[in-house]
A and B are shown apart, each in its own frame.
Chain A
Amino acid sequence: MSEEKIEFDNEVDQMDSRFVEICASMILAHDLPFHFFELEGMRKYSEFLNPNIAIPPRNVIEAYVSHLYTKEKPKLKQELITIPNRISLTFDLWESNTTETYICLTAHFVDANWKLNSKVINFRLVYPPTSGEICERMVELLNDWGIEKKIFSLTIDDSFENEILQEQLKTQLVLQNGLLCDGEFFRVNCFARVLNQIVEEALKLVSCGVHKIRESIMFVRHSKSRREKFKECVEKVGGVDSSVRLHLDISMSLSSTYMLLERALKYRCAFESFHLYDDSYELCPSAEEWKRVEKMCAFLLPFCETANMINSTTHPTSNLYFLQVWKVQCVLVDSLGDEDEDIKKTAERMMSKFEKYWDEYSVVLALGAVLDPRMKFSTLAYCYSKLDASTCERKLQQVKRKLYMLFEKYSGNSTSAGVQRIKENQDQSSSMPLQKKSKSLSHGLFDVSFYIFFGLTLKLLLS
């Protein structure tokens, strides 16, 4: 590190340091390669603007980034140590194209301004990538940050090796007396993976219909004459909102596929009429396929929302997840009673995947929901009873017991820790909740109130 510092200082003397800074921040902000400014096109562009330009070579930019890193790291470390609350981690493994394995450790925590933060704290080479070695390295890294006693949970991909790792790390941290309730809340598994497995099953069921819809859109868009004929069909059929345009999906995106289906459904009659009109158009989905696609479309909606939530730039707080996961569960339960045998069978498979995940991790999410002043136990009771009234009371008691058990560890903490957050400016609303914040973490797509106060109409969705 120190070598790089010297190198940086020397080189920077010869360059305009302000210019290096601008170049480096551009590379970081837009995730460009380090040699971006040395690329032929970029060089020509810069020289056109200023023929005398001295373009910073990549090693100068690299050195500047390292310098920034060493400058910023102590700040973050200080922040992590000072906050009175604990930190949740996510863990990933990455592989470079030279097949070296990297640990990526991300810290999620509420900062002094009560905002949720997610920061990558380490991206380290690990060799050999065995669970023992990785665990050891992780403990080292946590010690280096000084947060080994401040970890709340670790979210990880669901795989056998990862489970071993999670267990090992838990044992290590418990030995250091660093976890609450002997690590009972330490393990969280990645929900995105479960979600994806379920969605894959669902899409398999309608693969034929989806394929035909995709081909149909391409067919009617193929030439000007076909586009015009299709337009005539749309007008003839009537009642189609043509301001909503047909959409072709990107094959890797769930929301895009959802949009493909949702919009194509609006044009269903037009496609059918076009089918009668043009003999060369053979790929129009059958009535049965349309019906199934329609069902699947309703089925996919909560998955789409959850995926959007997980992928959004503002990371949502965990209270929002509970209802989202519950919505997914409701759709699954409903599909179990579908009259279509194929859908029913698929739903059973999906349900078993879902339950394996949910049985283990529902408590952490439920606790998050209870700590949302809009939900508490009454919403939980509503959700549980909607799913299965017979187990509702038992589940509620279990969540309550865990909450009290966990709270016991926190009582009296705030005074002994001696750390205070930035206080509200003696706002008289100390007991009043904040009204609508302009930029809050909640999402518009999250129509929880609709679900709760206007009744659950999932039946409608699926019928």
Chain B
Amino acid sequence: MHHQQLVTETGKSQLDVYLDESVLDFRCYAEMDVLQWWKSNNDRFPDLSILACDLLSVPIATVASDFEFCMGSRVFNKYKDRMLPMNVEARICTRSWLYNFVSEGNSVIYIYIYICVCVCLCDCIILITMGKFSY
């Protein structure tokens, strides 16, 4: 509360105040979790911290949701048993919610698989086999 008053008195917005403050030294805060910084400073920047949350959670790649299925292609033929559409969703979502995609100690880069796979909306058949990846 105290801080908020301070902001209005000086006629500066939260953003102005934030930008005017000196930058933290990277060497001292190399491992800092930015979201935790915004958490501790939420009282001083209530609006700006929400904006920060929104901007900081923008993902750069769609891969993150993928590695669950990275078994050579985007086709999830891994489950040999036929699953009804409803069961597929229940299974994949519940796994994501409760187990948070804990990978089995296998965080190899799957970027190759990922990139070479072409996604077309109308026809998203996987054309690429492992062989094509050799260079």
**Chain A residues with a Cβ under 8 A of chain B:** 1, 25, 28-31, 33-35, 58, 62, 65-66, 68-69, 72-73, 76, 84-88, 90-102, 104, 106, 108-110, 114-116, 118-125, 129-131, 134, 152-153, 155-157, 159, 161-162, 164-165, 188, 190-193, 195-197, 199-200, 203-204, 207, 210, 250-256, 304, 307-308, 310-313, 315, 317-319, 321, 325, 364-365, 367-368, 370-379, 403-404, 406-407, 410-415, 421, 423-424, 427, 429-437, 440-442, 444, 448-449, 452-453
Contact = CB atoms under 8 A, between A and B. Distances in A.
B107 A371 contact: no
B32 A374 contact: yes
Interface string B48-87: 1111111111111111111111000011111111110111
Given A34-B83, A95-B124, A432 B109 contact: no
Contact of B130 (A90, A125, A251): A251
Interface string B17-50: 0110101111101111111111111111011111
Contacts of A110: 35, 53, 56-57
Nearest to A440: B33
Contact of A407 (B15, B35, B46, B95): B15
Q: Which 5 A-B pairs have the closest CB atoms?
A: A196-B115, A69-B90, A414-B46, A161-B121, A440-B33
Given A252-B130, A373-B37, A410-B47, A452 B90 contact: no
A410 B48 contact: yes
A94 B58 contact: no
Interface of B: 3, 13-15, 18-19, 21, 23-27, 29-44, 46-69, 74-83, 85-99, 101-104, 107-116, 118-122, 124-126, 130, 133-135
Contacts, number: 387
A119 B61 contact: no
A308 B68 CA distance: 15
Given A33-B80, A434-B33, A315 B62 contact: no
B20 to A, nearest CB: 10
Specify which of B35, B79, B85 lies most central, judged by the most chain A CB atoms within 10 Å of its CB. Answer: B35
B40 A319 contact: no
A204 B135 CA distance: 7
22 contacts: A28-B95, A102-B88, A121-B93, A123-B88, A129-B124, A134-B121, A152-B55, A159-B118, A159-B121, A310-B64, A311-B64, A311-B67, A311-B107, A313-B101, A319-B34, A364-B55, A410-B47, A413-B50, A429-B40, A430-B40, A437-B36, A448-B26
B63 to A, nearest CB: 5
B93 A120 contact: yes
B74 A95 contact: yes
Contacts of B52: 371
A196 B86 CA distance: 34
A66 B87 contact: yes
A184 B131 CA distance: 41
Contacts of B65: 90, 92, 104, 106, 118, 120
Given A68-B98, A161-B121, 19 more contacts: A28-B94, A76-B97, A85-B54, A88-B58, A90-B61, A93-B119, A94-B75, A97-B75, A108-B57, A110-B53, A110-B56, A122-B89, A131-B121, A308-B109, A373-B23, A377-B19, A435-B29, A436-B29, A437-B33
B26 A119 contact: no
Given A373-B23, A431-B41, A440-B36, A109 B122 contact: no
B66 A317 contact: no
Contacts of B81: 33-35, 58
A239 B49 CA distance: 53
Contact of A406 (B30, B49, B51, B90): B51
A402 to B, nearest CB: 11
A131 B93 CA distance: 23
A190 B125 contact: no
Contact of B119 (A69, A159, A423, A441): A159
Contacts of A121: 93
Specify which of B31, B44, B55, B125 lies most central, judged by the most chain A CB atoms within 10 Å of its CB. Answer: B55
Specify which of B13, B68, B95 lies most central, judged by the most chain A CB atoms within 10 Å of its CB. Answer: B95
B62 A157 contact: yes
Specify which of A156, A188, A310 lies most central, judged by the most chain B CB atoms within 10 Å of its CB. Answer: A310
A255 B109 contact: yes
A66 to B, nearest CB: 5
Given A33-B79, A93-B119, A157-B119, A315 B64 contact: yes
A152 B115 contact: no
Given A318-B55, A433-B29, A195 B111 contact: yes
Contact of B24 (A162, A207, A374): A374
A382 to B, nearest CB: 11
